[in-house]
Chain A
Amino acid sequence: MTLQTEAAAAPRLTSERPQNFYGRTSLSKRPRPLESLIQSFLFLCGALSIATTLGIVYVLGQESLQFFTNPEVSLTEFFFTTYWQPEAGEYGIWALANSTFITSLIAMCVAVPFGLGAAVYLSEYASPHARNFLKPTLEILAGVPTVVYGYFALTFITPILRAVFGVETVEIYNMASAGLVMGIMILPLISSMSEDALHAVPRSLREAAFGLGATRFEVSTQVVAPAALSGVTAAFILGVSRAVGETMIVAIAAGSGSLFTFNPFKAAETMTGYIARLSGGDVSYASLQYQSIFAVGLMLFLVTLVLNIISRRIVARFREVYE
């Protein structure tokens, strides 16, 4: 009743309408200079990162093209052989790629189980008190400069490996030590991202599971973890691409000089290690060796690109819709 009388008494929308506190009755567009300025700035930020990526692709592509079109390099040799001796004109990428693979694999063998375990503990078991203390502590690990990790591998882990497996078996520079420490470096990334994913699983799902008489272990492994699968997988793949791209640790601890071997106790240079060593050395510009850096860089770029695409696919595909 009251509503109707009010509506009847309300003034019509005409020019006689009394002015309100912001003194405007027109609905036409008005200029907002600050807003446009901010919008342009934000656009610029986005454009900058795209431009940088394009610049990198351009430089990598151009130098690699010169490398691959050089008559001394054959594509089949590059992609299908296992000797990488630029001094001798041998360019078989698998020598480098294989060590990258081995060190990353070792790193993931450390980072995934421990990272996931830490994540499950923090999200499902730890008291709020313990969690508030442990999470930041774990994240400190992520802030340690990789050069420190490199020397940690060389001066701490390597001696232990040599003591355990024998000085004859384990070389001073070896992939195992670099891989293990790389795993420790990646661990906080995996645990932090996985913990976020686990934490995002709604409480109602846990309660449903507990209500059926499930134990905490059953709930975390069979309900919460699968529901967080996409986030956990994304963490895993991001971890792999960190391992593949990690340079300092392998440059310091895995040795220089390429070798195609599956023995983790041998020194073998990774793709990143090769790039770092040559960039720091005195190769002349425009030489084939110099260009090979870019060819290897391009391969690394492609690997991480593919990993990121896969990770996006997985996240999109397995995204759980809870409500």
Chain B
Amino acid sequence: MTNSQHSTGHYLLEAHNLNIYYGTHKAVADVQFNVERHKITAIIGPSGCGKSTVLRAFNRMNDFVPTCRVEGDVLLDGQNLYAPDVDPVEVRKRIGMVFQKPNPFPKTIYENVAWGARINGFKGNMDELVESALRGAVVWDDVKDNLHKSGLSLSGGQQQRLCIARALAVQPEVILMDEPCSSLDPIATLKIEELMRELKERYTIVIVTHNMQQAARVSDTTAMMMLTDDRQSGTVIEVNETNTIFTRPKDQRTEDYVTGRFG
């Protein structure tokens, strides 16, 4: 493996010297950080500093933005996701994603969960898989009598948990979540947070949030992103245990941000 020379083997996901451009605009500069297995890693920072851009670099979602160009390496278990022979479709099977706004398919609840598994060649008992994914996302009790209703008939919080179930059914290793609670009410938000704590037993989670309390509540590690001094590009200024980030940050800018003194 020529690409694994950086890898320490300790981390599941590693970003090395990541630079991301939209056209000529360098939106993300020199990002360096790692994600541990079975941990929740939060990316926090003011809006526009490139959190989503970095997250989407982890499962090659940026491929769909025609102007977007990624430089540097992202390693999953030591394999560079940006190596020329890597199939992005395979990457996304192993690294699932939950989006900011719930986006269930206009299909039945059952089909929403089953579809991803089916296209990935799942051969086992689909009913069981659907049930366990829905249970895993703590939405089974809400939908078990209505599996053949449209996924769009659910409330926002239920839809978001359905989207999580849909991601679980593909049995990925990593689940990326981009502000998964930003369109939800506080109760639905708490449910999702509780769910994340359960999910980390089996999955590795990276969550982007602009809500610092949320990062403090759910994550083990926190990466702080901030615009660089020229205010053009965002970068990770500090990564540490969440507790440390919120109580004894090393960087003054992090302290200003987490204490709400940020402009």
- Chain A interface residues (CB < 8 Å from chain B): 127-128, 202, 204-215, 218, 222-223, 226-227, 320-322
Residues of B within 8 A of A213 (CB): 89-90, 92-94, 96, 116, 119-120, 170
Residues of A within 8 A of B119 (CB): 212-215, 218, 222
Once the chains bind, are B61 and A205 in contact (CB under 8 Å)? no
Residue in A127, A204, A214, A222 whose beta carbon sits within 8 Å of that of B103 in the complex = A204
- Closest chain A residue to B153, Cβ basis: A321
- Closest chain A residue to B170, Cβ basis: A212
Residues of A within 8 A of B103 (CB): 202, 204-205, 207-208
Once the chains bind, are A204 and B93 in contact (CB under 8 Å)? no
Does B246 lie at the interface of the complex (its beta carbon under 8 Å from any beta carbon of A)? no
Number of A-B contacts (CB under 8 A): 75
Interface size for B (C-beta < 8 A) is: 27
Once the chains bind, are B90 and A212 in contact (CB under 8 Å)? no
Residue in B66, B89, B104, B107 whose beta carbon sits within 8 Å of that of A214 in the complex = B89
Residues of B within 8 A of A206 (CB): 64
How far in angstroms is the closest Cβ of chain B from A304?
30
A128-B66, A204-B99, A207-B99 as given contacts; A214 in contact with B116, CB under 8 Å: yes
Report Cα–Cα, A18/B166, bound state, in Å. 62
Once the chains bind, are A212 and B64 in contact (CB under 8 Å)? no
A211-B97, A213-B119 as given contacts; A226 in contact with B89, CB under 8 Å: no
Report Cα–Cα, A73/B116, bound state, in Å. 62
Report Cα–Cα, A222/B90, bound state, in Å. 18
Residues of B within 8 A of A207 (CB): 61, 64, 97, 99, 103
How far in angstroms is the closest Cβ of chain B from A24?
43
Residue of A202, A208, A222, A321 with most partner-chain B CB within 10 A: A208
Q: Chain B 74-104 against A: per-residue CB contact (8 Å), 1 yes, 0 no?
A: 0000000000000001101110110101011
How far in angstroms is the closest Cβ of chain B from A201?
9
Q: Chain B 148-184 against A: per-residue CB contact (8 Å), 1 yes, 0 no?
A: 0000100000000001001100100000000000000
Residues of B within 8 A of A226 (CB): 106-107
Residues of A within 8 A of B94 (CB): 213
A222-B119, A226-B107 as given contacts; A208 in contact with B163, CB under 8 Å: yes
